[in-house]
Structures are given as structure tokens and as C-alpha cells.
Structure 1
Amino acid sequence: MHLTPWDLPLITIDYIQKGILLPNPSPEWEKTNAGGAAAAVEHLASSFARALGRFYPMASRLAAAAADDDPPSSITVSLCCNDSGAEFVHAVAHGVAVADIAIALYTPRVVWSFFPMNGMLAADAVVDCTLPVLAAQSIKKLKARANAEMSGESATISSLQSLLAHLWRGVCRARRLSSETETKYMLLIGCRGRIKGIPHAYLGNAVAARGMAAAWPAKPSFMMNANLVNDAGAMGTGSSPRFDVYGNDFGWGPPAAGRAEWPREQDRREADGVRGTRRRWRFCLAPDAVERLIADDDSEN
């Protein structure tokens, strides 16, 4: 498996870790599945094994090998297709309820134990706040406000554009950036569903990077979280709102929440999916910026 110039710079930053929080099996499910909670665990393990049997690269690990010369002139990164990259853990958390995680103001410590690759970077400078929920009516008001402010312009501002701009301005205020500071906002957008010829079941990255494919091999560079966090005017959004997070139903109802263990050195936000007519977002900001964002009247309204 060959890694592209888009994949290689990302080797030096954290693993992407996300998960869904499912409720306990419903009484209706238990009526048709003897064994209760134990049967539910076995059901999940079986589904997990069948999925990895079809998408076996997901159970793989990247392996790095240096060249034989001294000092090494190059490093080869390969994908080892074995089962070392998959793990199924069954653990009991006494005294912890779904509501303790789904509606907490700040992400509880127990959430970090859900993700085995956290703590890869020795920093604890950023905390994760709760998921702001934006109702469809609120987004409509934002869109109308944005288009009113841009009256006379030929282009119409979409709901997503107005929402992202509103959140961007709120975060810039929370960071207390000066009016002279140049800011930039990056949207991480995959084009897997927009390119002709890509199979429907394709799982790899598909990114249109003009000039990068030719320029990167000539002068390789890698991303570092320290470089990202040093740019106070930069912000990024990932995780497409089109991804049906709450459509993961294993037989006893949709997830109660979605959670992620983002690098705690890096400011960013991600779309957490759409539930009904509401859109959820996850913010990762420095603690003082979180407090100011919560107290921001314009963001709250």
C-alpha cells in the first residue's frame, strides 16, 4: 500500500480517535435475544469481527523501517495487514451512566479511558467542552442575518457558510485576537464522493491537492502539533456533517452521543453530526478561551 503526499505529512501528528456512546439494549431487544447484557457484548464482538473480515486493512498497523546505511538516508513506512491494529475490550464502569457523559459540561475523565491511543503527546493544555446544539431555526436566522449583512453582493451565503462564519468570529473573540491579526480558517473536505471513477466502497483518502503531488517529494515536510498551536489566528474544521453518526444502530436504538479524543495541544472544532433537525459541534480550545466563548452573548444567542 503506497501512502500519498497527502498521507505522509500526517504521520507525525496524533491518531484520529472517535466513538459512539450507545444506550443499554432496549427491553424489546432483550425479549428476542436471550442473555441480556452478555448477549449484547457478544453481538457487538461478532459484528466487529465480521466487519474487519471484509475491511481487513482497518485491523492493520503502520510499520517504519530505516535504511541500512549509517546514518539512515531514508525511512520506509508500510502497512502490515495483520490483526495487531484491532482490539475489542469489554470493561465495566461502576457508577457511570450514559447521561454522565452525554450531557456533561466538560468531558469527564472516564472518556479518555475509552481511547487507547490518548496521551501520545505529553501535554494537557486544552480541554474539550460540551457539544453545542444548534437548532434548524437558529441556523436559518444566522443565514438570514449573514445575507442581510452582505446585501448587494451577487453570491448567496449558504446555511453552512453562515454557521461556520458565526462560530469562527466567536472563537476569534474568545481568543482575544487583535483587530490587526490575520486569521485563516481551514475546512478539511474529502472529495471521495465527488470524483468520477472511484468505487462506491472505496475507503481511502481522495484529495485534490494542486501542485502538492509534484512539490512535496522534492521538499518533504511533516505536520507537527506544536506548529499548529503556535498560529493563534488559525482554525480548522473536520468531520463532515453529512456523515450519519447517529445512524449506527446495532439493533437497540441509535447512539446517545458521539465522542472523540482530540490532541490536547491543538485548537480545532469538528462537526459531530446531525440528530433530527439539530446540528452538534465539538470544540477543542484552551480553557480560558472556552470560558469566554460560553460567556459570549452573541455566540450564545
Structure 2
Amino acid sequence: MESVRVLSRRTVKPPSWCARELIPLTSWDVSMLAAEYIQKGLLFPAPPFPIFPDLIDHLEASLTDTLATYYPVAGRFITEQHRDDKEEEIVVGCSVSIDCDGQGVEIVRAVADGVAISDVIPPSSPNPGGLLQRFFPLDGAVNHDGHHVPLFVVQVTELLRDGAVFLGFAYNHALSDGTAFWDFINAWAHIARARINPHESGPPPLVVLKRWSADGGEPGPVVLRGYADASELIERMSPPPLREKMLHFSAETLAALKEKARQELVAAGDIQGAAAVTRFQALSSLLWRSITRARRLHTTTSTTVCRAAINNRGRLVPPLPKEYFGNTIYAISTSPPVRASELLDRGLGWAAAAVGRAVANHTDADIRSRVEAWTAKPVVYTLRFFDPNGTMMGSSPRFDMYGCDFGWGKPIAARSGRANKFDGKTSLYPGREGGGSIDAELVLEPQHMANLEHDQEFLFWATNTTSFRPQDSQ
């Protein structure tokens, strides 16, 4: 019988000479305080050395070195009250900062009895996370909990049937977005490889820790006016029962999907849209349309939109460096909302162009307008903010997940826990074979997933892949 047992825990701290400072969270960071920790993980083949103590010691030593640069990861959050200038007893608001005092991160060692690689990466699951969820620490933690629990914990789980290893990361999303998170993991992996093979060594990772400010000046605390403590904004919510399916789209399939969208746009006379269409837009369009049908929205008067998480770094003027450490993402949306029946009638190309316009309209001016609006009325994101008729594209196939070689080989698979999942959420990953392939982790309510499995357009593209045919394991 499958069981996962935690055997030990270690606290890992940055070197004592690291900077001790307070780093104020931006509006982008604070808005994440009610969301759950990022739960992403990598499955590796069996290492050529013992899990304990050799592997754990290896990961601990290299993580210590990595925290010398990424020392905020080893901190905790701290909330400070702000008082009226004239009447000190009146609290006008609060702000949250990273207290970089070297409190530490954790490495958890665990074993999974009776578990092998094939058990970890089935193509579908009636319970998002499933067995995998037991490979992730801090289950159910929201980012505000970073006031009293580590901002980063990794669980090293040995699959006892074949010796494979799963590294399950729990990472505070108010600390940074996925771009900076995967930069951190890759930096740790690079340092780990260099400890085994000196030829892999190089300069320390480059990271920009100074937070962004709208006026370009010295970043200061973002005051949540009207709140004595940030905890007043936190709402913990649980999603309904969900099902999850991992899909693989080869580079060839994505190219064909893009070409279909392009041809439809040319036929409709939208030459500009046809020239600008991308594989991401075509894939988003396919999933948006398929999920809308699976929900049977086209039989109602409901409207729908497609949302996608987008990186602000290169869209700001001046742009933020790609090494910027923090959150700088927004969820963009197709606009205006379209009736579900109209979305399906207009075709793949029209939907792809709608996604493309949403991307193109996300400019420096749009970003700054959103920051200004948020500052006037701060909010934190919870499941309540997600439209039950819309779809959401998260994560990114640009993240270098399969470059994370800690010294005993590249990952076999990238997976996630159950955190931050809801009906209509799709997380995109790079395909392991590279070359522009994409893996899509799709989450739906059970009846919606059952309907999707009979959707002809979806089945045509999801099963015409070169290396993976999604099949329900139930």
C-alpha cells in the first residue's frame, strides 16, 4: 500500500555575512498574500549515490551557497503599522516587508513506500495532486503564513520501488513570480552540479533584489490604508472537487494548430491577426473553446473570456531586467466578453486573435494604470476573483524546468501539487523533448472533464501528438 513517510527535517540558512535588511513588498507582491504557495516539483532518476546522507548533504551545502545570493528566500514576512502624523494613536494602515534576517528554509526528507515512477506521472487523476500532493510540504498554506513559516521548503522523496527521487518545492508566491522562482531553482541546480563537476562552475547567479517603484525612485512600503494588519485581507477558500489531466502537444501539433488559426483569419480577411498569431494564442484558443463547450455554456446566454498570466518585465518603460526578483505579473483578459455561442461559431482563428489583442494591449501605460488603481483600492487575489465561465492560462513553457540538473541527471517530468487550482485553470510547461513542445496541465470539475473527453475538436488535437495520447486512468 502506498504511503509517504517524513523521516527528517533540516533548517538551511544563508551564510552569516549576508545582508540583513527589510525589503518592502510591492503591490504585485502584496496582492498575492491570500494565494497559496507555489507547488511545483521535479521527478529525477535514481541518483548514483545514497539518498541519505550523501544526497541530502549535497543539496543542503549547495542550497546554503545559493542563499548567499538569494538571501530573501530565507527570510520571513513582517507587518508594520503606519500611524497618523498628527495623532500617533490612530493606525491608518499597514505594510508588509521581507525581514531578511537569515531565519532559514527547510529540507524535508521522506520516503514513498511501494511507489515507482509510473505511479507519479499518470496522464490523468480524479484528484488534483493525488499521490503527488503528499510529496509537497506546507499543504494548504497561504502566502501570508510566511510571517511564521519558511518562505521555501523542499521535500526530497525517495520512491522506494525504483529509487527515483521527487523534489517537491513549496515556495511563497508573494516573494516572487514563477520567472524568479525558476531562476532560483536553476541557480541552485547549477551550484549543485558545480560541487560535483568543477567544470560546471561559473560566476554567482545574477539577481536584482531592489523592488520596482512606479516613479523610478527608492522603493518604499506599500501602505494598505484602512487595515491595521494584512491578515484582515486574507480569505481561505477551498475549490470544489476537481479532475486533472496532463496533455502533451508536440512542436508539430502546435505548428499545425497555429496554421489552422492563421488560415481561418486569412479567410476572414484579418491579415494583421493572421500575421501575428502565435502557438500560444492558438493553444489558448483551442482550450478556451473546448472548455466552454465542456461547460455547456453555448446552450445559455453566458459570456466568457480567456485570461492569461503575463510577465510585465519587458513591457515596462524602461523595462525591468529579466533577473528582477519579485512579482511582476498580471492576468490579462480578452475583451469584451463574448457570448459562448458566438465564441464557438466564430472559430479557432477568431479566438486566437482575441487572445493576441489582449497580449498586445498590455502596455506600460496599462500596467501603470493598474498599479494606480490597486494603490487606491488594495485587493488580494482569492478564488472568489476567478470567473466560473472563463479560462485561465498560467505558468509558462518558457520556464527552464528541465535544465534543473542537480548533479545526477535532468528531470524525467515536471509536476505540481493541488495549490492554486480551480475549474478552467491550465498550467503550461515545456515539453521534456524540447523543440517548442508544450505540456498542458488542465483542471476541471468532474462533469466538465467528462464532457471534454468526448469533445471532437479537443480530441483531434490532443490525441494527434507524436509522443503522448491522453487516456483516463480511472
Using structure 1 for the length normalisation, give the TM-score. Answer: 0.85
Give 1:67 shift: 5.9
Q: 1:226 to 1:205 in 2, by over 3 A?
A: closer
Query: What amino acid is the match of 1:114?
Result: F
Pick aligned residue for 1:218 from 360, 376, 401: 376
**Does structure 1 retain, via aligned residues, the 8 Å contact 2:246–2:441?**
yes
Q: 1:218 to 1:194 in 2, by over 3 A?
A: closer
1:1-150 superposed matches below 5 A: 1-25=23-47, 30=48, 35-38=49-52, 39-65=54-80, 73-84=92-103, 86-106=105-125, 109-120=130-141, 121=236, 123=238, 125-150=240-265
Q: Which moved more, 1:120-129 or 1:45-54?
A: 120-129
Give 1:90 shift: 0.9
Pick aligned residue for 1:286 from 437, 445, 450: 445
**Does structure 1 retain, via aligned residues, the 8 Å contact 2:430–2:439?**
yes
SS at match of 2:307: strand
**Does structure 2 retain, via aligned residues, the 8 Å contact 1:170–1:299?**
yes
**Does structure 2 retain, via aligned residues, the 8 Å contact 1:132–1:282?**
yes
Q: 1:65 to 1:291 in 2, by over 3 A?
A: farther
Q: 1:259 to 1:241 in 2, by over 3 A?
A: same
**Does structure 1 retain, via aligned residues, the 8 Å contact 2:308–2:393?**
yes
Q: Deviations over 1:118-173 (max 9, x none)?
A: 22446352435231001122112211221222222112222221111011111111
Q: Deviations over 1:59-97 (max 9, x none)?
A: 222233556888954233121224446110111111111
**Does structure 2 retain, via aligned residues, the 8 Å contact 1:241–1:271?**
yes
Q: 1:127 to 1:46 in 2, by over 3 A?
A: farther
Q: What is the number of equivalent residue pairs in this alignment?
A: 291
Give 1:198 shift: 3.7
Report the counterpart of residue 232 of structure 1 in structure 2: 388
C-alpha distance in structure 1 between counterparts of 2:91 and 2:246, whole Å: 46
C-alpha distance in structure 1 between counterparts of 2:323 and 2:28, whole Å: 20
Report the counterpart of residue 242 of structure 1 in structure 2: 398
Question: Are 2:430 and 1:273 aligned?
Answer: yes
Report the counterpart of residue 338 of structure 2 in structure 1: none
C-alpha distance in structure 1 between counterparts of 2:39 and 2:90, whole Å: 34
Report the counterpart of residue 198 of structure 2 in structure 1: none
Pick aligned residue for 1:161 from 264, 273, 281: 281
Query: What amino acid is the match of 1:10?
Result: M
Q: 1:127 to 1:24 in 2, by over 3 A?
A: farther
Q: 1:66 to 1:96 in 2, by over 3 A?
A: farther
Structure 2 alignment gaps of length 5 or more: 1-22, 142-235, 330-363, 461-474
SS at match of 2:63: helix
C-alpha distance in structure 2 between counterparts of 1:37 and 1:281, whole Å: 31
C-alpha distance in structure 1 between counterparts of 2:24 and 2:394, whole Å: 24
Give the aligned CA root-mean-square deviation in angstroms: 2.5
C-alpha distance in structure 2 between counterparts of 1:161 and 1:265, whole Å: 21
Q: Which moved more, 1:251-260 or 1:197-206?
A: 197-206
Query: Which is richer in strand?
Result: 2
C-alpha distance in structure 1 between counterparts of 2:76 and 2:27, whole Å: 19
Q: 1:292 to 1:66 in 2, by over 3 A?
A: farther
SS at match of 1:132: strand
Where relative contact order (Cα < 8 A, 6+ residues apart) is larger, the structure is 1
SS at match of 2:258: helix
Q: Which moved more, 1:136-145 or 1:191-200?
A: 191-200
Give 1:48 shift: 2.0
Give 1:299 shift: 0.7
Using structure 2 for the length normalisation, give the TM-score. Answer: 0.56
**Does structure 2 retain, via aligned residues, the 8 Å contact 1:125–1:264?**
no
